[in-house]
Amino acid sequence: MDEMLKEQVDQTPEMQEQPAQVQTQETALEEADNPAVAKRRKWSAFVEGPAADFFTGYKLEKMTIDDGSGNKAKFSRTKDGGIKVEYTSAVLL
């Protein structure tokens, strides 16, 4: 069973790693000044990238993720086949 799952993951193009995006100089400066902004941006990038790819790659109907630090995301399918994503980011100041 594990071998079948591994083969499916290897054959799914949506699940392949994508090249990292290059940050602009302005974004890098903003993150250096405010680590909370950097943390929020990393969570949103994860939710909109690998988590969304997993959701669509396995054709799931609903999915909830929680990192244990207050960041949560809910994925669900709409009636017209689209994807609805709601996510929060908790930051301590």
Task: Express each pLDDT in 35-76 by its tens digit.
Answer: 777 877 899 999 999 999 999 999 999 999 999 988 999 999
Q: Name which of 60, 53, 91, 93 is nearest 77 in CA terms.
A: 60
Residue 1 lies in a domain: no
Residue 9 in domain: no
Residue 41 lies in a domain: yes
- Can you list the pairs that 9-13 forms with residues at least 24 positions away whose Cβ atoms lie under 8 Å? 12/57
CB-based contacts of 40, cutoff 8 Å, min separation 6: 89, 91
- Whether residue 11 is contained in a domain is answered as no
Q: Is the pTM of this model over 0.75?
A: no
* Residue of higher predicted confidence among 49 and 31: 49
Of 41, 42, 49, 47, whose CA–CA distance to 19 is shortest? Answer: 49
What is the number of structural domains in the chain? 1
Residue 10, domain member (yes or no): no
Residue 28 structural domain: 24-88
